[in-house]
Amino acid sequence: MRIRITETDALIVVDMQKDFMPGGALPVPGADTIVPVVNKYVERFAQTGNPVYLTRDWHPDNHISFSSNGGVWPKHCRQHTEGAAFAKGLAIPSDNRFIVSKGVSEDFDAYSGFQGTILESLLRERGVKRVFVCGVATDYCVKHTVLGAENLGFRTVLLEDALRGVDVKPGDSARAVDAMLERGSVLCTFEDLV
């Protein structure tokens, strides 16, 4: 497959934050190993003048998703903490980049970068028609961001070499990829870009 980046494309980098890296509060296995690959995509989109959107969990201390509040996850990515910062070494363009915070309300969970955020408005404002998506976790926030994009009418490209999943149940990430493909997403790697 060969894919050309066009003027109506954008990159969405999902939740590449310290708490999801090894040693973080909610580590995604191997998440640190994709930082260099994510950086290649960020640099490529920056070179072509296309926008880069970085989503992040930005939770209050008493967020509904935390196990201490009846949720399923340990406390992670709490607002203004080191764990909520972007991963060490992650390339963040100085221009044409947008940071989208999600899960900011204590009583509203959000796996998708579109839930309770202005991401859709930002994309529409720029005339974006297709989004390229990478990051963590394949089986949660990446999956829901891709499905959200598809539901909103954006075409989606899943960047296969820049994903890592949690796999709470073995095979969750593979099943998530299948679900995204069934909704119309296509897979590509950096070598597929022209």
Contact 12, 132 (CB under 8 A): yes
| Catalytically annotated residue among 18, 75, 77, 102 | 102
| Catalytically annotated residue among 9, 15, 19, 57 | 15
141 tagged catalytic: yes
> Per residue, what are the HEC states of the chain?
CCECCCCCEEEEEECCEHHHCCCCCCCCCCHHHHHHHHHHHHHHHHHCCCCEEEEEECECCCCCCEHHHCCCECCCCECCCHHHCECCCCCCCCCCEEEEEECCCCCCCCCCCCCCCCHHHHHHHCCCCEEEEEEECHHHHHHHHHHHHHHCCCEEEEEEEEEECCCCCCCHHHHHHHHHHHCCCEEECHHHEC
C-alpha 13/C-alpha 45 separation (Å) is 11
| Catalytically annotated residue among 9, 57, 75, 141 | 141
The residues annotated with a catalytic role in the active site are: 15, 102, 141
